[in-house]
């Protein structure tokens, strides 16, 4: 009787163990399945997020990419870039025209310049040209004078040259030698300093010169790029379309040339393909 009872207990234990094992196996299988499904989901979501990121970057790039809004090219005559890094081309030749009786400028800008001065005068203003086309020799003389001025103040030659170059362009790198630039001041205030910007003439010119194709070439906030001090009197002809775009986009000539140049690189690359 005791053996029968023991056997019954043993059977019961075996059955229970079997049930527990079965439950464990089911549990393990369920967990494994869940884990695999989870891993797949994570992988899928990662792939999606990479795609989203790529998409985002592409969209952003497209947004940042500017369209070419003007029909100009960096090789256009009115966009000649002359600065410390870009000398006037050796082959450069100018056809000069007299303006305001005593000044000479590139023939191609004379009409626009006359019109600008004439319109300013109609507003009751008195702008006068104080500097226009300069020969290389004259530029050299002005530059050397400025260097001497700094030397007299105690600067060494190299330092004096560097300081002078921010006020008077190094010969061969000055816009006055191109005939495309003029210095205009108020008849009532003819000193070339920052106070010039407060005159009614400069206020009008800074606001309106773009309509005639001129830009204030060396703005105060672009000194790092132009490497010339603020000159609220030096106007450079670039053409109406370019001047308008530069004013709208707040670009100095160096920035504008870079902007146009990027399209030319793209066009060149497309030609190669």
3-state secondary structure (DSSP) of residue 131: strand
Task: Select from 10-18, 55-63, 226-234, 250-258 the region that touches Zn ion (CB under 5 A).
Answer: 226-234
Catalytic residue among 231, 255, 258, 264: 231
146 binds Zn ion, rule: CB under 5 A: no
What does the alpha-carbon distance between residue 151 and residue 159 come to, in Å, rounded to a whole number?
9
Q: How far is the CB of 236 from Zn ion (least distance, A)?
A: 9
Q: Which helix (H) or strand (E) holds 7?
A: helix 2-64
Q: Which helix (H) or strand (E) holds 127?
A: strand 127-131
Q: How far is the CB of 91 from Zn ion (least distance, A)?
A: 23
What does the alpha-carbon distance between residue 82 and residue 106 come to, in Å, rounded to a whole number?
15
Angle ∠(81,86,90) on CA atoms, nearest 5 = 95
Binding mask 114-143 for Zn ion (x = CB under 5 A): ------------------------------
**Under rule CB under 5 A, how many of the chain's residues touch Zn ion?**
2
What does the alpha-carbon distance between residue 261 and residue 252 come to, in Å, rounded to a whole number?
14
234 binds Zn ion, rule: CB under 5 A: yes
Q: How far is the CB of 260 from Zn ion (least distance, A)?
A: 24
Among 119, 183, 197, 254, which residue sits at the site for Zn ion (rule: CB under 5 A)? 183
Q: Which residue is nearest to Zn ion (CB)?
A: 234
Phi, psi angle pair for 236, to nearest 5°? -120, 135
Does 224 qualify as catalytic in the annotation?
Answer: no
Contact indicator for 169, 139 with CB cutoff of 8 Å = yes
Of 100 and 183, the one with the shorter C-beta distance to Zn ion is 183
Task: Select from 15-23, 55-63, 86-94, 179-187 the region that touches Zn ion (CB under 5 A).
Answer: 179-187
103 binds Zn ion, rule: CB under 5 A: no
Of 159 and 183, the one with the shorter C-beta distance to Zn ion is 183
Task: Select from 84-92, 116-124, 191-199, 232-240 the region that touches Zn ion (CB under 5 A).
Answer: 232-240
Edge-to-edge, what's the strand order for the sheet holding 127-131? 127-131, 181-186, 234-237, 214-216
Q: How far is the CB of 266 from Zn ion (least distance, A)?
A: 34
What does the alpha-carbon distance between residue 262 and residue 70 come to, in Å, rounded to a whole number?
13
Task: Select from 64-72, 86-94, 233-241, 262-270 the region that touches Zn ion (CB under 5 A).
Answer: 233-241
What does the alpha-carbon distance between residue 182 and residue 167 come to, in Å, rounded to a whole number?
15
Contact indicator for 182, 105 with CB cutoff of 8 Å = yes
Q: How far is the CB of 181 from Zn ion (least distance, A)?
A: 6
CA-based Rg of the chain, rounded to a whole angstrom?
37
The catalytic residue positions are 231
Q: Contact residues for Zn ion (CB under 5 A)?
A: 183, 234
């Amino acid at each position: 009787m005791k053996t029968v009872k023991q056997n019954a207990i043993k059977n019961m234990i075996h059955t229970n163990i079997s049930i527990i094992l079965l439950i464990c196996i089911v549990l393990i299988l369920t967990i494994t399945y869940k884990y695999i499904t989870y891993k797949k989901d994570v992988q899928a979501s990662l792939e999606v997020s990479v795609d989203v990121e790529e998409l985002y970057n592409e969209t952003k790039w497209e947004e940042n990419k500017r369209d070419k809004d003007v029909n100009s090219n960096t090789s256009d005559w009115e966009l000649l870039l002359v600065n410390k890094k870009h000398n006037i081309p050796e082959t450069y030749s100018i056809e000069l025209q007299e303006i305001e009786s005593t000044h000479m400028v590139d023939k191609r800008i004379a009409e626009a310049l006359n019109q600008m001065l004439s319109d300013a005068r109609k507003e009751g203003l008195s702008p006068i040209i104080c500097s226009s086309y300069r020969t290389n020799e004259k530029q050299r003389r002005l530059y050397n004078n400025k260097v001497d001025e700094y030397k007299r103040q105690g600067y060494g030659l190299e330092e004096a040259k560097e300081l002078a170059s921010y006020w008077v362009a190094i010969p061969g790198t000055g816009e006055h030698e191109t005939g495309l630039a003029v210095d205009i001041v108020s008849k009532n205030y003819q000193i070339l300093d920052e106070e010039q910007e407060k005159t009614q003439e400069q206020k009008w010119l800074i606001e309106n010169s773009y309509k005639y194709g001129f830009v204030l070439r060396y703005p105060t906030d672009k000194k790092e790029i132009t490497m010339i001090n603020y000159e609220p009197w030096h106007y450079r002809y670039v053409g109406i379309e370019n001047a308008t775009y530069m004013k709208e986009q707040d670009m100095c000539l160096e920035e504008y040339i870079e902007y146009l140049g990027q399209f030319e690189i793209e066009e060149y690359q497309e030609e190669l393909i």
